[in-house]
Structure 1
């Protein structure tokens, strides 16, 4: 069964961001900079404002998701600081850093735990969606899913990363298995990419190949 991606809780993100902005500290982050969940020994939350930011699995650096729109990170870590994930800027980015304990106090004062739950549920649902894309799937299915995901990215983002890098960063597939499938899809005129492997077009991809 095909699982649809979860819908971003835009209003909840906006409301929580509005509450936290007055106590937040702006931080400019350079490309490839990794951001940890603590600052001066205290747990943090991050309000992503501009740029391109990825979440990686801390154990092996597997890329879980990249965001381009304003977003709020650190709610799960505020409640359960397991340090299982880290953030990484892909381009020059602007984030706001907030002390998690202060954020929690404000959430309690403002009575916005319903919004907190909506954002936390979204993050959980996204991880379930992502697992459905890659876990116990055939190699072709995994590549197909990521091609369909990649073509929806802004063109600027697609022209910064090759198809091979995009899929390898997000899966455990080998370079050769990815390239074999991409070559077959290109020969079948299902996809088009420019020199260097930058995705230009994705047609109707077959269910199996």
Structure 2
């Protein structure tokens, strides 16, 4: 289990990731599990939103996935279980796809059935909290990369990376993680990471982020 959800000196501490509504997500999953079967999706495989013509959602029970935008493949968000994929993008799923960052356990179910169970069981409150969290995560990411300097973007992405499960963080280079989520050039990312490492601000091994010692507000 990842135990790195701690404040990083010199870094923002109000990321929406810290407010993930675990209890609400687990309550939803508890009501939905009797109608699903668990399957395993291998690392790198795409989680499909459709089975034939039937729109699906997915209970993410364990492991991590990344939400990509079609066309350029930019990562808009990444999530670890427990989570529910595909219920906050019911009207725009053709623009998005999810890919497993590691082997994951999921339980697919028709989206129409999900909506019916939420209505029948009066689960609107936990569902609304899940939606608020999901939208906040994507909005936070998009606003960050569109308004900040290259260093500010990298600084925030490093904090996000440190908070990822160890199974993801230790198998992903910092440069690849940041590149997949931003429009920054790889050379620019590598330059700033090298300077941060040389200055003793971060610890990395073979490109993998090990720890953050201190990230200055300006660099």
Q: TM-score, normalised on structure 1?
A: 0.91
Tell me, yes or no, if structure 1 residue 48 matches structure 2 residue 60.
Answer: yes
Aligned residues: 206
What residue number does 2:22 align with? 10
CA RMSD of aligned residues (A): 1.7
d(CA) in 2 for partners of 1:108 and 1:201? Answer: 44
8 Å CA contact 2:101–2:168 kept in 1: the answer is no
Choose the corresponding residue for 1:98, options 109, 112, 119. 109
Q: Once superposed, which parts of structure 1, at least 4 consecutive aligned residues long, lie more than 6 Å away?
A: none
Per-residue displacement from partner, 1:161-202 (whole Å, max 9, x unpaired)?
A: 1111111011111011111111211221111211x2111221
Inter-partner Cα distance in structure 1 for 2:83 and 2:77: 12
1:39 aligned to which of 41, 47, 51 = 51
TM-score of the superposed pair, with normalisation by structure 2: 0.87
After TM superposition, give the deviation of residue 142 of structure 1 in Å.
0.6
Alignment of 1:1-209 (within 5 A): 4-6=14-16, 7-78=19-90, 80-194=91-205, 196-209=206-219
Q: Residue 102 of structure 2 contacts residue 167 of structure 2 at CA under 8 Å; is this kept in 1?
A: no
Deviation at 1:3, TM superposition (A): 8.0
Distance 1:56-1:189 versus aligned 2 partners, 3 A rule: same
Structure 1: runs of 5+ lacking an equivalent: none
Provide the residue aligned with 2:7 in structure 1. Answer: none
Deviations 1:44-101 (A, max 9, x none): 11000112211111231111222223111121233x2442211111211110001111
> Which has the higher relative contact order, 1 or 2, with Cα contacts under 8 A spaced 6 or more apart?
2
